[in-house]
Structure 1
Amino acid sequence: MQETVFELQEKKTDKELYSYQQGAIQQIFEKFDNERDDYHLLYQLPTGGGKTVIFSEIVRQYLKNHSKKVLVMTHRVELCNQTSKMLTSFGVVNKVVNSKANLDDQEKYSCYVAMVETLNNRLNDDKLDISDVGLVIIDEAHYNSFTKLFKFFENSFILGVTATPLSSNKETPMNGNYDELIPGESIENLIENEFLARAEVFHYDMGLTSLEVGSNGDYTVKSSSDLYTSPAMLNKLLEAYTKHSQGKKTLIFNNGIETSVQVYYTFKNAGLPIMHLDNTATKKQRKQILKWFRETPDAILTSVSILTTGFDEPTIDTIILNRATKSLTLYYQMIGRGSRVLNNKSKFTVIDLGNNLYRFGPWGADLDWGAIFKSPNYYMDRIRDDEDIEASFKHDLSEEIKEEFSNSEETYFDIRETYKQATFAGESSKVVLERSIAQHASICVENSEDVYDALALAKLLKEDIDNRIQVYGKCISKSTYNFLHWLKEDYKKKLNSYLRENFDEVFEEIHGHPPEE
């Protein structure tokens, strides 16, 4: 039977390999030939670059030239089935080792495809004979779940493939499990050569300091949910979608099921075609939802991070990051879901509502993966934190509200700079808010004919007042919710009083004459 398997593997594949893929295969085989049998090699290639195609061809060539077996490991059942299909299309007869698999005929196969947990159970039960496995390929190798299996393959060559060779856990860096990294083509090169679409990014300055970081090093679902299910954030998401992606196929990523469900209702109530998907959906439901998403031109799919790997839908036009993450891998995976090229699609839209662009830089910026692999902590420690990011924000009026203040050349007021100057001059911090109120009053008067107009305009400044108070709270290092809430209410009262008492005087200062009776 072994002979038959090898005969089938001789079949030529109809898959066309690109020159960069052939180059990668050549580099990897050089390591097979020149390094020790138990060498651990890591290969990096961006999402959409065709990692599965590359390692399927590697398996085909390896089995043709070696009398040992190959094992391919994945971390999700969908990836397991996709990988098996791809290998079959390369003429590689393979057996999927899942929980239901009958292993009585395992000796007939020279290639196995398995999921981590199932494989771990089978190996611990001695159900699978791996004595003659010469090559182990690990897909999405940045997941730490694979490392527990390395002990079973002490004499095998291990090839890990990933788009982002950075472990999510500082305690288990990838350079502790792999001897060397081969970086593949950069995203920029793949875009230039039309293998990937270019991202057009719209990002919003978000106040995220209420988010908490959990034991896994990323923001907790609870604190994300509290922030992103607030009416203000749901409205901002809907506005951003309407402005940049109305009618386009859109995939929204959230941190947590509750947020995704709230997003679903917000969009549904606005009469938009949306569905929600999370990991509690049955196989059948998931299949139906993804079919609807594929076939509906203006479909919106709101999800939790289950569609970050192994999900290919080239018709996606917009990715919305309705969440913040501290994981570079997750950032690249989420955006990568929109980067597949299709017919005349050469670019796609990204809407960032989590300051992720500020944290990691633009998607596709040339990252030195070699340096990150060697010194991951040096890289991780330099990722900007939220306080630092938000310190550089310039909070001004939104475009819509600015239209109501069209007579004012400048609507921005720098709380931070005013605080610095006041402190330097030995003044009380209270003068900062007094000067802010005077500036707010001035722009209200500038755009009004009488005090009633000015008071109506002052109501539109709620969000700007909130932003100024947040910054002020940080300046004086007092930012408890109750204190800031009191300050905001007090500010609005004082602004209204200031307008009532000083309208005529300010009007005359601005216009050179008193308001008409």
Structure 2
Amino acid sequence: MSTQAQASAALAGAEVISLRDYQAGLVTEVRASLKAGRRRVLAYLPTGGGKTRVATAITQMTLSKSKGRVVVLANRKQLVHQFAAALRAAGLDVGILQGENTHGLHHRVVVASIDTIHARNCIFGDVALFIIDEAHACAGSEKYRALLFRYSRVPCIGLSATPFARGLGKPYPELRGPLFEDLVIGATVQSLVDAGHLTDLEIYAPSSPDMTGAKTSRTAEGEQDYRQADIEEAADRPELVGDILRHWLKLAGGAKTICFASSIAHSQHIVEQFRAAGVTAEHLDCYMDDETRADILRRFERGDFTLLSNVSLLSEGFDVPDTSCMVLARPTKSLTRFLQMIGRILRPAPGKTRALLLDHSGSVERIGHPFDDLPLELCDGNANKAGSRKDERKKSEPKPCPKCKFVRDAGVHECPKCGFKPQRQSDVEVADGELVKIDRKAKKPATPDRKQHVYSQLLQVCRAKGYRPGWAANQYRAMFGVWPRGLNEVTATPTQELLSWLKSQQIRFAKGREKAGVSHGAV
């Protein structure tokens, strides 16, 4: 019997948790990190990879080797009850510390709401281990940090499918070190898909809102994302809502679907459109009482209706494996939010051969394919480092096919879904019927992030070469047709792509001035 099995069997009435190889490997590496003297270890597994099973196995080991208690922390009521249910299913006696639902605090395992702990100023005197679910939230939460400061000597294991929030590795004097000292990686999304533990994904990108000029603000995870007011204004338009229904009817074939909308009103408008077309649909939001929400979720799980629409309520803790389609109607720039939402449809289920993402938000083209390599290293809170890590992730540049809207890599000429081969006509891909013109020359979309990056590179070239201050602005205008208004005066290392473009500009300018005898050096 393995060490984990022996430890589990030592607990009377507890089920021996069976772990997959990568889960057992993660447990081993986390324990090794703690034994090496680290107090706070962050464990990464993609959504659907089995973080709760890993936590259950670690809980059983801790109880068998220590007289102290295990306290599991979560930041949502739904997550508290889900985690408690999973631990009880393994035969453990579990108490809950969450608002009016508090009970069984004498048990050696307590699942607690961080909000309740903070509000009641709860103090634990016999904790052997803290486990934090969705631990990426710690970076932006004073409540979590206050608890970790108070119990800085107690081992803590964080669990997350998105461990790249800004500040997860930031040093604090109260901790005499970083918030989390080590990141242990259990598996990647692609490896779990290849092994059949997650479902492969097909992506279609029909219409999307125009986010030009939309402002951004910092999320709790330290990422920049669109302001809520700008999202609502851009996305909740009748023509876009109608397009969601039209493409769902064409591509989803009545599959069980979850929809992420930009606002409550937007979600309700989507549900109205689907119902008018004879598709059973329900809306869910945080203002409904617990009983109503639970009833809607139960009926969706049973298959009583087809589409469940919400804003962000179901981005964490939602687990209905036979949900095979997602409509993403909420534009985002946040990698964390993007992956949390998409993770809802990747769990396998009987008869489920693939998951389908209908991206009506422009997020795939903006952020990249969900299976791309992630920036799996703890961020120390440095803004420049966080930005460079995000850029490093974007290895693919997915583009929608002009004919069927299936998302393929930018370098793939023939669509693998419909066989469409775009013809080069004035540098524009044109397809009959639907669709949006896509500039073949633009290897990257001219998003605000893209424009800022180009301008920052131009500033670096300008300063390195000693050009006049207006040079960078003029080059920017030559590329985008507008002046760089509202952009930050920060520099970035120029890419070979930009240097090649500048060289072509200089050659073109030199040829135009050749008769006047003017020459210019290369960049």
Q: Same fold (TM over 0.5)?
A: yes
Distance 1:287 1:213 in 2: 33
- What percent of counterpart residues are identical? 25
Residue in 2 that maps onto 1:266:
273
User: Structure 1: how far apart are the matches of 2:434 and 2:300?
Assistant: 40
Q: Supply the distance in 1 between the matched residues of 2:300 and 2:118 (Cα, whole angstroms).
A: 35
Aligned partners of 1:42 and 1:192: how far apart in 2? 24
Aligned pairs for 1:36-47 (under 5 A) are: 39-47=39-47
Q: Which runs of 5+ in 2 are unaligned?
A: 1-7, 406-421, 438-445, 447-476, 485-523
Shift of 1:315: 1.2
2:214: which partner in 1? Answer: 211
- Partner Cα distance (1:332, 1:47) in 2: 8
User: Could you tell me which amino acid in structure 2 is paired with residue 46 of structure 1?
Assistant: P
Q: Cα gap change, 1:323/1:168 in structure 2, threshold over 3 Å: closer, same or farther?
A: farther
Distance 2:404 2:57 in 1: 53
Matched AA of 2:482: S
Q: Structure 1 residue 358 and structure 2 residue 365: aligned?
A: yes
1:84-233 equivalence runs, <5 A:
84-100=84-100, 106=105, 108-122=106-120, 124=121, 128-143=122-137, 144-145=140-141, 146-167=144-165, 176-204=178-206, 206=208, 207-216=210-219, 217-233=224-240
The structure number with the bigger radius of gyration is 1
CA offsets 1:262-287 (integer angstroms, 9 cap, x no match): 21222222222111111111112112
Residues 397 and 84 of structure 1, relative CA distance in 2, 3 Å threshold: closer
Q: Structure 1 CA distance, aligned partners of 2:117 and 2:379? A: 30
Aligned-partner SS, 1:57: helix
Structure 1's 298 and 247: CA in aligned 2 closer, same or farther, altered over 3 A? farther
User: How do 1:264-343 and structure 2 match up within 5 A?
Assistant: 264-296=271-303, 299-343=306-350
| Cα distance between partner residues in 2 of 1:350 and 1:255 | 16
Structure 1 runs not aligned, ≥5 long: 1-5, 400-408, 416-439, 444-456, 465-470, 480-517
Q: Is the 1:252–1:320 Cα contact (8 Å) retained in structure 2?
A: yes
Whichever residue aligns with residue 161 of structure 1, its letter is L
1:241 is the counterpart of 2:235: no
Paired residue secondary structure (1:214): strand
Q: Aligned to 1:28, which of 30, 33, 53?
A: 30
The one-letter amino acid paired with 1:58 is I
Aligned counterpart, 1:255:
262
Question: How well do the aligned residues superpose, as a CA RMSD in angstroms?
Answer: 3.9
- Corresponding residue for residue 82 of structure 1: 82
Asked if structure 2 preserves the Cα contact closer than 8 Å seen for 1:359 and 1:383, the reply is no
TM-score, normalising length: structure 2: 0.69
Corresponding residue for residue 482 of structure 2:
477
Alignment CA distance shift 1:16-1:215 (3 Å):
closer
Q: Say if 1:181 and 1:373, in contact at 8 Å, map to a contact too.
A: no
Tell me the TM-score normalized by structure 1: 0.70
The one of 5, 9, 12 equivalent to 2:11 is: 9
Distance 1:100 1:297, change over 3 A: closer
Q: Distance in 1 between matches of 2:378 and 2:100?
A: 42
Cα 1:232–1:172, aligned 2, differ >3 Å: closer, same or farther? farther
- Measure the CA separation in 1 of the matches of 2:48 and 2:306: 22
Offset at 1:210? 4.2
Residues 168 and 320 of structure 1: CA distance in aligned 2, closer, same or farther (over 3 Å): farther
Amino acid at match of 2:49: G
| Structure 2 CA distance for partners of 1:182 and 1:7, relative to 1, 3 Å | closer
Compute the displacement of 1:243 (Å): 2.0
Q: Is the 8 A contact 1:48 1:196 kept in 2?
A: yes
Distance 1:58 1:342 in 2: 27
Q: CA deviation at 1:321?
A: 0.9
Matched letter for residue 29 of structure 1: R
Partner of 1:498: none
Per-residue deviation, residues 225-246 of structure 1 (Å, max 9, x unmatched): 1111112211221222122113
Q: Which AA in structure 1 matches 2:317?
A: G
C-alpha separation in 1, matches of 2:295 and 2:215: 35
| 3-state DSSP of counterpart to 1:91 | coil
For residue 200 of structure 1, give the secondary structure of its aligned residue in structure 2: strand
Change (3 A) 1:81 1:210: same
SS in 2 for 1:320: strand
What is the DSSP-based 3-state SS (H/G/I as helix, E as strand, rest coil) of the residue aligned with 1:160? strand
In structure 1, how many angstroms separate the alpha carbons of the residues matched to 2:373 and 2:435? 41
Q: Equivalents in 2 of 1:197, 1:173: separation in Å?
A: 38
Name the SS of the counterpart of 2:135 in structure 1.
coil
Higher helix share: 1
The Cα shift of 1:253 comes to: 0.6
Change (3 A) 1:235 1:413: farther
Contact 1:318-1:350 within 8 A present in 2 as well? yes
